[in-house]
Structure 1
């Protein structure tokens, strides 16, 4: 089995998205959707995004030996994502209800997790994994750390693990940065996180992103788009950031590419539907004054399917 450029070690969910809602239902309310979509979610979003950007990627996560797991493995294979893991009884599922740029989600997660041996088996050059899974990172791999809302709440006010000091970058959103540090100012929160991780990156939604590290704070603006569904934008930000770092782009360029990729994704329902190909991203990047970091475009750029 050949090494992969990126392994994603977070649980993969089947996202069930209700589109066309005029509002997110409140307690006791029922609202009608205009469509119902199924797509890979969770860690699979980053894996699919990386694959569409020309990296070899793998999802290393247990999946159920059930109808949901069969569908997820098929969808991943369609995008060229390698699945490695073990079969368990049931697969995670998330129901997503986007409306007017916001969303509500309900998730079932049976709680199965990847092992260090499973992650090491794909010989990844880089890994994306959450703070609780940091000890599983294989030696020698570039480590990009994320955290979800549940783990951010659990770690709020506590000490962050020293293993963060070995990470290439910590990627969080504004809410997560504030929860982890107890600070209300986003830039101050990023700076505090950079005292633990070599580089702390905070996504700012429509306002772009900022990074705090040895060279101080770097901020890049957002890209104006009409948001339909913001689900998975952070996961695709991570995919594009790793892609740009893989090709040796500077910090500001990495942030700009990642912001652009995430912004493009929210124009349609579901993250995977919004994850554009490398060719499409490079064309959009050229319109925003970004030069391709890919050294061999003829070999790396795949035609849109």
Structure 2
């Protein structure tokens, strides 16, 4: 199993469970609220680490209470935080408005500082797997350097660089598929569609009751990356990701949970 390098957001979430989204100028009462760890990068890192992988988180927190909580949560999950930088400003925080059908609306609170992080390209070894859980065009040189060094580089869309072997994300986030890149498109209840040199293949979602859709895409990415790390065929990684996503949406959490098909479940 290679090391995984997850580059992206680390956030502290405020989840509000509401009967409906408010119309402009109207009031809505939350039936339940909770603060909890989150952030796309931290979610994927946690999912992989809890499955037994060696995971290095690359991102930032602020010198605030939320940052302390997030670094503690990542450490507890077994994630290496040596490359989590403390930047002047606030730890990313979001408000989640979660409806009865589990769908969530996300409201960011603080300015994003991911453009200020330093990516430790020299620390990435041949065979490692790199996942950009958020993409900025300024990451292109780092992605190309790590790919040239022998790492498997993956990203959310657009990830528009020849270095990308896989793009993993929601269909709505794709505008183009770079040449020689495999696109893995999540489509919610409709499952996943894979566009590769071999053609187009569709995979149905795992039927389940959705309580909270937060982190479903991150859980899917974690399962898929695990499959790539185990050198499994792509379809096995997709199916594992779908199983992890189905398990995650059944609970009230931003962080993914270990689901059916987890290779460490019986260990």
**Per the shorter chain, which TM-score range?**
0.7 to 0.9
- For residues 48 and 120 of structure 1, the distance between their equivalents in structure 2, rounded to whole angstroms, comes to 21
Matched, 1:248 2:246: no
Consecutive unaligned residues in structure 2, runs of 5 or more = none
The runs of 5 or more residues in structure 1 that have no matched partner are 153-159, 182-192, 286-291, 295-299
- CA distance, structure 1, for counterparts of residue 115 and residue 47 of structure 2: 20
Q: Distance in 1 between matches of 2:114 and 2:141?
A: 13
Match of 2:152 in 1: 142
**Equivalent residues of 2:7, 2:57 under 8 A apart:** yes
Q: Bigger CA drift: 82-91 or 92-101?
A: 82-91
The answer on whether the counterparts of 1:23 and 1:31 sit within 8 Å (CA) in structure 2 is no
> CA, structure 1 residues 173+225, in 2 after alignment: closer, same or farther (shift >3 Å)?
same
Shift, 1:245, TM fit: 0.9
1:219 is matched with which residue: 194, 202, 208?
202
CA distance in 2, matches of 1:240, 1:225: 17
Q: Give the 5 Å matches for 1:159-170.
A: 161=160, 163=161, 165-170=162-167
Number of residue pairs matched by the alignment: 254
Dislocated runs of 4+, deviation >4 Å: 114-117, 300-303
TM-score between both structures, scaled by the size of structure 1: 0.76
Per the alignment, residue 127 of structure 1 pairs with 130
**Alignment counterpart, residue 265 of structure 1, candidates 240, 248, 258:** 248
| 8 A contact 1:17–1:37 mirrored in 2 | yes
Normalised to the residue count of structure 2, the TM-score between the two structures is 0.86
RMSD: 2.4
Distance 1:73 1:114, change over 3 A: farther
Describe the shift of the 1:302–1:95 C-alpha distance in structure 2 as closer, same or farther (beyond 3 A): farther
